[in-house]
Structures are given as C-alpha cells and as structure tokens.
Amino acid sequence: MDYDYTITYAQKSLDSTMPWIGMYIAAASAVCTLAMAADAFIGFRSNKYWLPCKYFSLNAFSLTLLAVAMKLPIDLTNVDVTYRDKYARIGSVVLMSTAMSNFMTSLGSMENNEIVVNMAALGILVITIAANVIIHLAQMQSSVTRVLLPEVVMSVVIMFSFLSTLCCVSLMAPGAKRYIGLKYDEMHESVSNRQVEWGRFSVDEVENMVKAYWVMAQTSRSQFVLARSAISCISGLLCLFIALLLVEARFANRLLFHWYIQNIKGRSESDYGWSVGWILNTQSIGVAMGTIAPLLRWFVASWLKISETERRSFRDELEVEKYWTWRLVEWRDRSLPFQLPNRLCKKLFRDARRSFLNFCIRGQILFVSAAKLVLFLSARLGSAVFLRFCKTKGSVLAGGHKSKEGEHADFRQYVLLLEGEPQLPYKILHNICNEADKLIQIGEKRQPENLIQLFKKSSNFCGVGRFDSSHVPSLHSQEPPNCWSLPVVTLTAISLALTYDKAIQLLKCVSEGFPIVKLIEETLDRTRELENMRNVADVVWDEVENNKKWDGEDLKSMRVRGTACKETLQNLSNRAGKTVTDFLAQANDILMQNPLNWPRRVIAAISMYRISQTILLGIGDGEHQDDDELFESISITISDILAACLTNLVQVIRLKCHRNDIREREDSVRRAVILLGESKEILKILQLRVLPSLDVEKAAKIDEWRASMALDHIV
C-alpha cells in the first residue's frame, strides 16, 4: 500500500513539471519561427524575393531546435484526449515539414560532405518522428484517435515527401555547382582578357568591371540557383497543401471532435496542461511564417518560366539535364572504395550497387520530370492570369522599368544560368545592378575626405624616392626591405615629435589612409614575404595613433621648447641607432641571416634611423630650414607615398572581385564594390598623374618604385 502511494506521488510530481517542458517546446518552436521570419524580412528588404537562408538553414543548431520542438509527436506516453492535444501533435509534424521546405536552398551553401552529414541527421529525425506517430496511432484505437486520422496520416506522408525533395536537391546541388563553376571560370577568363590595366584606367571602366563581377556572383549564388530550379515548385506546392491541411484540421473537425469527447469518461486534460495552447499557437505561427519562403520561391521559378521568350515543345520542357543526375552517375561509374578478395563477391557487389544506383537515377529523373511538369503548368496558369490583367505580358515582366532597360542591358551577358534555364527577367537584373549601385553609394558616403585633401598637396610621386636616401650609411650590410605602411607611420611619428599641434591634422589624414594601405599590402603580398614588416607597422601605428608615442617615448615631449628641430631629429636617430646596434651586438648568426625575422622593435628602429638621417641630410644641404617648411615637406612625402601605394587600388579591387570559393565570392565582391565607392575620388585624382614604367607585379612594391624613379632620375 505504501509502495503504491509512493509511486502515485512520484508520478504526480513528474506530471506537475510537464507544462514547463511544454513551454520549453514552445520556446524552441518560437526560435525557429523567429529565424524563418528574419530570413523573410531580410529577403524582402534586399529585394531577394526567393528569400535566401541565413538564420534558418540546415545545420546542427536548427536540427537540435527542431528535435526539441518535435517532442509532442515523439512522446508515446501522452494520451491525446483534448482537441488541442491532437491538433498540436499534427501541428508539430506540419512545422517539421515547413522547416524542411525552408531548408532547401541552404543545401547550396554546403560542401558535399556537409550535405551528406546533415541529410543523414535530418533523415534520422524524420524517421523517428514518423515511427513514433505510427506507433501512437496503432496503440490508440479509440474513436477519438480516428477523428483526425486522415490528417495525421497525410501529414506524415507529406513530411516524407519533403524529405524526398531535399534528397533530390542534395543530389542535384553538387552537379549544379560544378556546372555553374565552369561557367563562372569561362566568364571570368573573358572579363580578365578585358581587365583594367594598372595606370591605364578610368573610374567608369572600373565600375563596369565591378558590376560585371557582382552580376556573376549574384546569379551564380548556389542558394539562388536552387531557389529558381523546378524543385522549388514541388516544395512550394507541398508547403501550401500541408498548411491548408493544418487549417482544415483546426476548424473543420473541431465540432466533430467535441461531440466525441463528450462521451469519454476519465481524464480530460493532457499531461502538458496549459502549455499545450502555447505550443499550438507558436507552431501555428511558425507554419505561417515558414510558408512564405517556399511560396515565393515557387512564384520566382514560375515567373522566370513565364518570361522565357523562346517557346519549347512539351517534350523539351520535361527534359532532365545532366546535372540533376551527375552525382548518382559518378557514384555508379566509379570503382569500389574497397577491395574484395573473392572475384564473384566483387562482381555481385558491383552489380548490386549499379542496379541500386540505376534505380535511384530513374527515381531522380521521374521526380524532376514531375517538378518540371508542375513548373510548366504553373507558368502557363500564371501567364494566363497576367495576360488577363495586362495588355501585354512584356509590361508585367519588365516591371515598369522599360525606360531604364538600356542602363543595365550590357550586364545581361554576365548572368550565369544552368543548362535549360530561362533568361532572368529584366526586373531581377535591374534589382541586382541597383544593389551594386547602392553599395557604391554606401562607399561614397565613407570617402576619406581628409586623405583626399592630403593628396591635393602633391602632383607627383617624388616623395617615394626621397624619404630614404642612399647616402645614409647602413647600420648593417643586410637590412629588411621597405613596405608601404612603415615609412608612412615613421614619418607621421617624426612630424608629431617636431610640430605636435600641426601634426594632429596630418594624423587624421593618415588614419584614413592607413587601413587602405594595409588592405593593399595584404592583398598583393601573396607570398606573405613582407608579413612581418606589416606587423611591425601595425604595432608602431597603434602606439602612435592611440598613445602618441614611439618606442615608449611620448612624442609630444620629445622636442624641448626652444630647441631646433635638428636636435629632435638627432635624438630620434640616436635612440633608434642605439636600439639597432645593441641588437646587432647580441644577435646570433642564424638570426642575422634573414632581416625579416629580426625583432619588431629593431625593424621599426631601422626605419626611424634611416628616415630621420635622410631629413637631417636635407637640412644640412640647406633644405626646409624652418618648422613650417619642414612639416610641409614631410606632409608632401607622406602624400606621395600614399598616392603611389593607392595606384594599386584597381588591382586590389579586381582581385577582390574574383574568388574561386563560391561561399566567399559574394562577400568578397561586396567588399570590392564598397571599396570602389570609398576610393572613387582618389581614383579620379590618380588617373590624371603620370606613372613610372612598371608592370603590375612591380608596382605593388615600394622598393621597385624607388629603383624605377632612380633610373628615371626623378629622386
């Protein structure tokens, strides 16, 4: 008796916590809903009506959330007595199906191994849900269970249909990416042959090049390729059907269910209690939010088909291209991944694998043909609707932008399409080009105004040749090479030490130019040869910009009032020279072999020593005797070095535009477009200047500039 009481008490204690578990389920469902809503909002905001997956994609996090949200259909201990229990169980399955429909385009952003792992995890979750729902139906043989039996069975069948759709897309995605990749390489080669050369460019040419790469990146985006495929029609149709099924389950059977429930005696409340309502409402909103993306992708795919000018026969419409089955054919024709000692077993295994894959290929072809049929019928129906409300189909497809069509017509040749795909409507191309224009405008708002004013102080690049004189004796037979950023930082530190108040404005100018110089150096130094030099410049610049110090010494207090600038320069030179000589006295032979491996403090000291000694030589020769003249000379030298470095901007923009990795391509091109906007005024200034005779590779190195200018007697 005491034992039964203990068990009953323990059961009641456990049951009392179930509503809070229900709230946990509702919270997981709410996170999924918010992620799908966020993707929809971002898609509408950016005019990408095919709604790319950013926050709600197929990964470990989303699958974990869905596993929590699916506890109701997985739970075999809960008896569905009330209407809300039964409907919430169906709603969970429908939410799972809707989530899978939203996952479709995210498969394009994955590597092949990621697709296999994520699809396997998703398949296990779907099979688990379906098995538990079927077991629950088999064990619950009451009349209450039979009320919503068709809806439950149909929801499970459609959930498996969505899984089949994702399997079809996962098999198609590698082939589609391979095909688009080949088209991209071909187009890139064509654009590269007409690339903008160093020193011979106009801003309009650079802008057209950037927009061409932007169109290539956007139209080759894997998620967009999947969204406009025929499979998106099947996904949208199934998503619409299962959403209507949920509505029917909620309203059509409610009165009938209450009539049955009145005849049931005993327990009339779920284990999850009051939390069932939260689960039901949250998941219903999730289904509503999740239906938006599949329907819009269905609409986009149909719209593209409607806009196709070339009419094809019905047989050609249902033709299945090679990229749909490329992955399966590759698996079928490759050799066995392992060796079998028995010849007969090897033959049997090979034949069995081949037969199975041939069956999968036929299934894939049948599924794709059905999707193409849905797309064809959707396009025909949509075309009839458009023609009913518009005089001509062209007025609809042009989207009201006929007058502007010539503006972006030249970029149609850069649109990358799969085999058999219709051309993109002008409105989509117009939106893509408009997005590039907006990014350029964002960059224009960030233009470095102070840096531009500094550029106007000089009209040539003579400062590149005179900041480091060959007449200054070297402290060692081997010294590290120059980079663009370190001389600029050193000259800025010297100007702060000499004329602090005036140099603050110069510091602002250099602050705007230094990130661009750093980007140029990192992009063009492909061998990473000068990486340590750049790191030295970063460390010194951080100290100069933020603390107004060099090598721990306050630059403002370096010049004592009443002393000449020559004494301050000599102090800087002596301090730097001592740092170098102390290091050389203690360094071992291995470290001395490569100056690039010397300590950062020593490399910075060498730069300070040589530049300060060069300025002292100029003062000795009667140049810039007063402070104002000296400060102006240093400012012009910095301007010349920055200007020479920034002549490589076009090359950097071009390199940023091209990325072989499709996952990095869009972000890289986006950065290039914004960089073009930021540097438009700079490029206009630089294109008017006479440049030395250098090729692209040599123009990226300051020492090559100095050598060229010495030969031309410009120094």
Which pLDDT tens digit goes with each residue over 570-598?
888 999 989 988 888 887 766 677 788 88
Which pLDDT tens digit goes with each residue over 601-617?
999 999 999 999 998 88
Q: What's 274's DSSP letter?
A: T
- Per DSSP, the residues of 681-707 read HHHHHHTTSPPPS--HHHHT-HHHHHH
Name the residue ranges covered by the structural domains of the chain. Answer: 16-196+223-306, 314-424, 475-647
**Residue 457, CA distances (Å) to 153, 285, 315, 490, 636 in order:** 78, 62, 69, 19, 6
Residue pair 548/556 in contact (Cβ under 8 Å)? The answer is yes
Q: Given its phi and psi angles, is residue 399 left (phi above 0), alpha (psi -120 to 50 degrees) or beta?
A: left
The per-residue pLDDT for 501 is: 82
CA 576 to chain centre: 45
Q: Tell me the two tokens of residue 112.
A: 């092949």
Mean pLDDT of 668-679: 93
Reported as type and span, the H/E element at residue 377 is helix 343-389
Whether pLDDT at 125 is above 90: yes
In angstroms, the CA 491 to CA 346 distance is 74
Residue predicted with more confidence, 271 or 240: 240
Residue pair 174/109 in contact (Cβ under 8 Å)? The answer is no
Residue 113 burial by Cβ neighbours in a 10 Å radius (0-12, 13-18, 19+) = exposed
In three-state secondary structure terms, 554 is strand
Q: Tell me the two tokens of residue 635.
A: 């400012």
Place of tokens 């040589």: 610
| pLDDT level of residue 395 (50, 70, 90 thresholds) | very low
End-to-end CA distance of the chain: 106
| pLDDT level of residue 307 (50, 70, 90 thresholds) | confident
* Helix, strand, coil in percent for the chain, rounding step 5: 75, 0, 25
In three-state secondary structure terms, 143 is helix
In angstroms, the CA 177 to CA 172 distance is 9
In angstroms, the CA 452 to CA 471 distance is 32
Which of 138, 141, 72, 90 is closest to 249 using CA atoms?
A: 90
Q: What's 197's DSSP letter?
A: B
Least confident piece of the model among 105-119, 258-272, 341-355, 447-461 = 258-272
* Cβ atoms < 10 Å from Cβ of 329: 16
Q: Angle 216-218-221 (CA atoms, 0-180°, nearest 5)?
A: 100
In angstroms, the CA 639 to CA 65 distance is 55
Strands (E), 369-501: none
Q: Tell me the two tokens of residue 222.
A: 């894997």
Which of 293, 318, 322 is closest to 174 using CA atoms?
A: 322
Residue predicted with more confidence, 455 or 263: 455
* Range list of H helices, 57-148: 60-69, 71-74, 83-103, 112-139, 143-147
Residue pair 87/249 in contact (Cβ under 8 Å)? The answer is yes
Which pLDDT tens digit goes with each residue over 320-353?
889 999 999 988 888 776 676 777 777 888 888 8
Q: Tell me the two tokens of residue 406.
A: 């010539």
Task: Reduce the secondary structure of 410-447 to three states and give it as a string.
Answer: HHHHHCCCCCCCCCCCHHHHHHHHHHHHHHHHHHHHCC
Q: Tell me the two tokens of residue 350.
A: 């090979």
Which pLDDT tens digit goes with each residue over 397-408?
444 444 444 455
Whether pLDDT at 650 is above 50: yes
